[in-house]
Structure 1
Amino acid sequence: MDQERNMKFMQIAMKHIQEGRAFLDEKGIELDMHDLQPALDMLMQVMNEAYEMGYEEGKNE
């Protein structure tokens, strides 16, 4: 995985972290940063796969 791209993805995720935290709080789900790490890792994988899919589609057009 591209380290620079991952940093950009992390910046995007951090822009929306408060919205995610509010959603979890509303549902009564308590998570600390240690608990969030696996979710962030999965989010990074999803974002990388989406990037690759868009990249391949863009090359084919």
Structure 2
Amino acid sequence: MDQELNMKFMQIAMAHVQEGRGLLESKGIELDMHDLQPALELLMSVMGEAYELGYEDGKKERE
């Protein structure tokens, strides 16, 4: 995945970090940014796979 797309995904993920932390904290789970790093990496991976799936679908529709 290219660096520019990866940065866009990180911006999206970071825009929702506080919401995610709030959800976890409401369940009694407190995490700091260090603890959230693996979850952010997983989210980035999921977004990358979803992007690739959409990209491939878009290519098929143009054919």
Bin for the TM-score computed over the shorter chain: over 0.9
Larger Rg: 2
Higher relative contact order (CA 8 A, sep 6+): 1
In 2, Cα distance between equivalents of 1:48 and 1:59:
16
The gaps in structure 2 that reach 5 residues or longer are none
Instruction: Give the structure-1-normalised TM-score.
Output: 0.93
- Please list, as runs of the form range in 1=range in 2, the aligned pairs for 1:1-61 lying within 5 A after superposition: 1-61=1-61
Superposed structure 1 runs of 4+ greater than 4 Å apart: none
The gaps in structure 1 that reach 5 residues or longer are none
Give the superposed CA RMSD: 0.7
Query: How many equivalent residue pairs?
Result: 61
In 2, Cα distance between equivalents of 1:18 and 1:33:
10
